[in-house]
Amino acid sequence: MADSSFDVVSKIDRQEVDNALNQTVKEIGHRFDFKGTGASISWSGQDNIEVKANSEERANAVLDVFRDKIVKRGLSLKVLDAGEPKLSGKEYRLMIALKEGIDQENAKKISKLIRDEGPKGIKAQIQGDELRVTSKKKDDLQEVISLLKGKDLDIALQFTNYR
């Protein structure tokens, strides 16, 4: 009998992030507390989002609105890596980077977690920026998925290619 497997990945649905960004732009345009503050949010390159405002508090408020929209779109806040607002001329700028993929350090940590706390007979292989988990029993794979969902890791995980 062939082994069953699934992949542990960390991917971002860019369309959902773009939708959340557009909703944030609309809300900033309509809300009274953002009038006249020069608050804006926009894409800055492929994987970065830039927030601009005339005060540090307004920049953080725009970030809070964006986080709220991200959660409502069903995405994890772990995909966002927000910096601190920095003064640039007369306005504050805040850069938000999007985190995608599982780096080697986190992949090793997840692999060790599966070996230590998961059922016996489970194999985890690092394949680039994802992790392939294999076992002879599908029930063991279900157990590994629930184990990983229960742990508070600093990256957003999805489980794909379950077969």
Q: What is the pLDDT of residues 46-99, one digit of tens each?
A: 889 999 999 999 999 999 999 999 999 999 999 999 999 999 889 999 999 999
The architecture that CATH gives domain 14-98 is 2-Layer Sandwich (3.30)
pLDDT for residue 1 is more than 80? no
How far apart CA 2 and CA 65 sit, in angstroms, is 48
> Where in the chain are the domains?
4-11+102-160, 14-98
- Match domain 4-11+102-160 to its CATH number in 3.30.1180.10, 3.40.50.920, 3.20.20.150, 3.30.70.860: 3.30.70.860
Q: What is the mean pLDDT of residues 113-121?
A: 90
Q: Is 66 exposed, middle or buried (0-12, 13-18, 19+ CB in 10 A)?
A: buried
- What pTM was estimated for this model as a whole? 0.86
What pLDDT score was predicted for residue 2? 67
Q: Is the pLDDT of residue 121 over 60?
A: yes
Please report the pLDDT score of residue 40 as a whole number.
94
**24/8 Cα distance (integer angstroms):** 30
How far apart are alpha carbons 119 and 122 in whole angstroms?
A: 6
Check residue 84 and give its pLDDT: 92
